[in-house]
Structure 1
Amino acid sequence: MNLEALKEKPIFQMTGEEFLFLQRNIDKEPQEAKETLSDNVSKKYVYGIRGIAKLIGGSISSANRLKKSGVIDEAIIQNGRKIIVDSELALELIKNSK
């Protein structure tokens, strides 16, 4: 059986034999693809000024000062009033700035 063709086939159209074959062989995928997916999922984000404040364990005014200082600009994605911060990158930038 062709593994790629079975991945494209809807489950409700599979026979029991095809489904079991797919389950047994899905774990034999290359490890690199699984690692890439886990890297993307492992990112942690905080949202807004309150999220930054919780991240640094400080007040909202301290978070505002930190954001305006430009130290964590690489970790910030902002669209209008929406602020998303990659927490791991922000902490690394704060650590390296001092």
Structure 2
Amino acid sequence: MMNLESIKEKPLFQMTGEEFIFLQNNLNNELPSKTLEPEKGKKYVYGIRGIAKLIDGSTSKANRLKKSGIIDKAIIQNGRKIIVDAELALQLMNQSK
């Protein structure tokens, strides 16, 4: 029987395949899953193309808008995945004018 605590202490490059799979299976059960789930009832757009459709502009204009920080409060981003609250983004753009 493998001891989870001793395996956690072991460097990854020294683990056998069996130890690594054991650790992975046990840690998946321990850690809370952090998912990107938008709230129900709101309208969302996804990605740079979604922002472009929302503002009825090009993807380069949407990229500039995102990088400007104006709509940061409306954006949920994890890695390359972008979710934008459409109503909040439009409100923030109107306030910035």
**TM-score of the pair, normalised by structure 2:** 0.59
Which residue identity does 1:50 align to in structure 2?
A: R
Superposed CA RMSD in Å reads 0.9
The equivalent of 2:47 in structure 1 is: 48
Task: Provide the residue aligned with 2:90 in structure 1.
Answer: 91
- For 2:22, the equivalent position in structure 1 comes to none
Query: Is there any run of 5+ residues in structure 1 with no aligned partner, and where?
Result: 1-39
Identity score, percent: 78
Deviates more, 1:40-49 or 1:62-71: 40-49
For residue 48 of structure 2, give the secondary structure of its aligned residue in structure 1: helix
* Residue 73 (structure 1) shift: 0.1
SS at match of 1:71: coil
Which structure 2 residue ranges, 5 or more long, are not aligned?
Answer: 1-38
- Greater CA radius of gyration, 1 or 2? 1
Q: Which residue of 2 aligns with 1:64?
A: 63
CA distance in 2, matches of 1:41, 1:78: 17
Q: How many residues align?
A: 59
Tell me the TM-score normalised to structure 1 length.
Answer: 0.59
Q: Which has the higher helix share?
A: 1
